[in-house]
Amino acid sequence: MSIDQNVSAPRGQQKVLDAWSKRLRGRTFITCEDIDIPAINRELAYVSVLGCEGGQFRFRLAGTGLQHIFGGEARGKSTAEIDACRGGAMWAELATRSMLREMPVSGMTRISDGMVHFWLRLPLSSDGIEADMVLCHDRYLPAEALADPEGAALRVDMSLRLDCGDLIAA
């Protein structure tokens, strides 16, 4: 696994960062209430919120686009309970860095199965006083995403849409 900061991320990740940045209002983090849902609505399937409890991160929310990577619903589970999160610096170490330093952290990780993980970690607060959570945006894309991250993200998005495939009546 390697982290590469020199590859451009899909535009959706920039939209999440921009929406977060616009809500800072002179602070170094936003609150849960500050999250601009309409501004990131097309990325919600890839957004999660990690709460830090006793030094361990637990999913408070995880988008549906992450379920196939996580093997099901992640809400309520710790990052240590999900195979895709274990051993990945972006889930524990870099989420902690974002939260404690109160600054965005992002990058791209090549995964051993050939997938590419574009990730973003943004400090978030439950009480407006201190950053105690992390707003995450994660896109797991096929290796060809390195040449065209936006195109790869669009193809994955289309594969998740129920209205784009043949539905079989129950």
pLDDT in tens, 44-93: 999 999 999 888 999 999 999 999 899 999 999 999 999 989 877 788 89
Say how far apart CA 130 and CA 28 lie, in whole Å: 10
Say how far apart CA 158 and CA 65 lie, in whole Å: 11
Q: Report pTM.
A: 0.84
CA angle 8, 11, 15 (to 5 degrees): 125
Say how far apart CA 153 and CA 160 lie, in whole Å: 11
How many distinct helices (H) and strands (E) make up the chain? 5, 7
Domain 2-161, CATH among 2.40.50.140, 1.10.3720.10, 3.30.450.20, 3.90.1150.10: 3.30.450.20
Give Cα 99 distance to the centre of its chain. 14
